[in-house]
Amino acid sequence: MRALRLPNWKSEPELVEVPRPEPGPGQVVIKVGGAGACHSDLHLMHDFEAGSVPWNPPFTLGHENAGWVHALGAGVTGLTEGQPVAVYGPWGCGSCARCRVGVDTYCENPAAAPVPGGGGGLGLDGGMAEYLLVPDARHLVPLPEGLDPVAAAPLTDAGLTPYHAVRRSLPKLLPDSTALVIGVGGLGHVGVQILKATTAARVIAVDTRDDALALARQYGADLTLRPDSDAAERIRAATGGRGADVVLDFVGADATLKLGVSVARTLGDLTIVGLGGGTLPVSFFGVPYEVSIQTVYWGSRPELIEVLDLGARGLIKPKITTFGLDQAVDAYHQLRDGTLEGRAVIVP
Ligand code: NAD
Ligand code: ZN
Ligand code: ZN
């Protein structure tokens, strides 16, 4: 079968022929219906090197996957061939206290996981191929009625990651509050929709690209602005001087972290999602009082079920551009160049 593989660090991916996987006991092979192209893959290609993450190329890209059950390994029950499924992407050990409640992202026994801290497309072979080996049937979530694999694929990361970030800050997203979304790309444009669908917070969106700001407005953002020198002042003015209760930074660069902390409201949250390589100095007078600052990684399996439900009910709907496997490199180039809106999904 054909697969888009990352051959090495600091490399472009290559479309090559690889053997079709066979499921071992407890495993499932899915026929891939859609595999999203995430900006994290660009970090894998251009920014990371040995030691940046606990795994190494070569492996097939694609950590945002959905498809149809193709072949069941011995002992797998509860799934049928041809059934549409989404793949929960982080693959932990399955038996530690975190994995048992579906929080494989923070597996406490990574040495016993199929790959430490990753999954298909992140250390192991991912979904940018005709077939994907899923090492444990528990990672498959049946698609609810109304959601096909192309629509579901981005929900497994571009949906799940902002959903988790929003959900952990829900107590601060009261009706008179403001959420600031920085970076309205694949994740951020779904983040705006999740905020609108699940909270009554006012949403302000910031991006360097006018297209992205237009997309944010289309999905209900109340105010959109470029990160110009007056951005912080405008955000303060729009919030009656209080600032943003919750800042979701989907970029994570020095400039966005600086903007985020400068407009965070006291007692607020500043959540860093983007791997932009920025640093945020924290000091007594440098950060508003009682602002909680955290990084987040992906989301939990129960949260994926909730995100798929939101998608199936039409409450969130990622903007998708589809590409064939032979166009996947071009999709990544468009993502890198900032000419894509929403999410690119590879349909093998
Ligand atoms: P994307 O390229 O689709 O979107 C990024 C958006 O940020 C673009 O719209 C871009 O114009 C905008 N942007 C870039 N620089 C900006 C700046 N200085 N100010 C304002 N806006 C700016 O990327 P994506 O796939 O949505 O991923 C976003 C980030 O999140 C990446 O760093 C990715 O690696 C990371 N990510 C993290 C997790 C996690 O679990 N923490 C999961 C998935 C992706
Ligand atoms: Zn991702
Ligand atoms: Zn575990």
CB of residue 338 inside a 6 A radius of ligand 1: yes
CB of residue 38 inside a 6 A radius of ligand 1: yes
Mutate to test the pocket of ligand 1, among 273, 332, 337 (most ligand atoms within 8 A of CB): 273
Indicate which ligand has the atom closest to the C-alpha of 65.
2
Q: What is the mean pLDDT of residues 6-22?
A: 98
> Atom 30 (ligand 1): residue with closest C-alpha?
274
Nearest ligand 1 atom to the CA of 297 is: 40
pLDDT at 11: 97
CB 18 within 8 A of CB 126: no
CB 252 within 8 A of CB 280: no
List the one residue out of 310, 342, 343 whose CA is nearest residue 197. Answer: 310
Reported as a pLDDT band with limits 50, 70 and 90, residue 231 is very high
CB of residue 289 inside a 6 A radius of ligand 1: no
Residues 6+ apart with CB under 8 A from 167: 198, 299, 303
User: What is the distance in A from the centroid of ligand 3 to the CA of 105?
Assistant: 8
User: Which strands sit side by side in the sheet containing 14-17, from one edge to the other?
Assistant: 14-17, 2-6, 59-60
**What ipTM does this complex have?**
0.99
CB of residue 207 inside a 6 A radius of ligand 1: yes
CB 123 within 8 A of CB 53: yes
Reported as a pLDDT band with limits 50, 70 and 90, residue 101 is very high
117: its two tokens: 């801290």
**Vertex 84 angle, CA 81 and 87, to 5°:** 105
> Atom 23 (ligand 1): residue with closest C-alpha?
39
CB of residue 182 inside a 6 A radius of ligand 1: yes
pLDDT in tens, 117-175: 999 999 999 999 999 999 999 999 999 999 999 999 999 999 999 999 999 999 999 99
List the one residue out of 9, 14, 321 whose CA is nearest residue 154. Answer: 321
Bridge partners (DSSP) of residue 270 are 247, 293
Q: What is the mean pLDDT of residues 19-36?
A: 98
Cα torsion at 260, 262, 263, 265 (round to 10°)? Answer: 100
User: What is the distance in A from the centroid of ligand 2 to the CA of 38?
Assistant: 5
Mean pLDDT taken over the chain: 98
pLDDT in tens, 245-287: 999 999 999 999 999 999 999 999 999 999 999 999 999 999 9
Is the Cα torsion angle 319, 160, 188, 224 positive or negative in sign?
Answer: positive
Domains of the chain and any CATH numbers = 2-157+299-346 (3.90.180.10), 160-295 (3.40.50.720)
Mutate to test the pocket of ligand 1, among 207, 228, 257 (most ligand atoms within 8 A of CB): 207
Residue 98 vs residues 67, 102, 304, 307: alpha-carbon distances, Å: 26, 7, 15, 20
pLDDT in tens, 159-186: 999 999 999 999 999 999 999 999 999 9
What 3-state class would DSSP assign to 199? coil
Residues 6+ apart with CB under 8 A from 51: none
CA end-to-end span of the chain: 10
